[in-house]
Structure 1
Amino acid sequence: MNNEVKLGHMIRYYLSQNNMTMKQLGELLDKTESTVSKWIKGTSSPQITELSKMTFIFKTDMNTLMYGAADIDSVIKVTNIMRELDEVDREKVCKFAQKLLEKSKKEKES
């Protein structure tokens, strides 16, 4: 999932959690409902000023708004581990992770 799509999911989530419409968010940000819709669809992205305002509106932080809390924590952990490994071990980790992903997909299909 690319960052624009993830951000769109998070905006949609926070709108629903705050019983807010796209139009209401747009009004708070001085943007149109159409602009907010494009952010949610991932066809355009808000500027940093809009992102900053949304963190106050939704009472969250920038990382959570853009990536989701669980995802960013996992990314940081994996990145830190991978930095400490040599190239051969990084490749082993990637192959192991790929096998786990394939196993998980098969289990979901059954």
Structure 2
Amino acid sequence: MTLDGPVAPPTEEAQPEAQASYRMKIGGMSCSFCTSTIRKAYERIDGVHDVGVSLAHEEGLVRYDPAKVTPDQLRRTLEHVGYTYRDPEKVRTFEDEERELRVARNR
């Protein structure tokens, strides 16, 4: 490959903002209005890039700039609009709980 003519100097590209993800289990949702309320609350926060809320899975995922927003702010925002935060690492599925009960019963 050859280049004909002068080569333009490189231009400064905007550095992408840092991005982190915050996943949560959400309690208290009952309809699509709930998911919309949560999404809009997060979209108003400077530093939040993307918000996904699933009514069926009772989950939310927020992508944000950790230099502008903290996980505690995200949790408090959820609670401020009337929903409960549950740590997804601490929430067990119904199947897991049922399995543990069966094992305990059979001892």
Same structural fold, with TM-score higher than 0.5 when normalized by the shorter chain: no
Structure of higher CA gyration radius: 2
**Structure with more of its chain in helix, by fraction:** 1
TM-score in terms of structure 1 length: 0.34
- Which protein has greater RCO, CA pairs closer than 8 Å, 6+ apart? 2
Instruction: State the TM-score, normalizing by the size of structure 2.
Output: 0.34
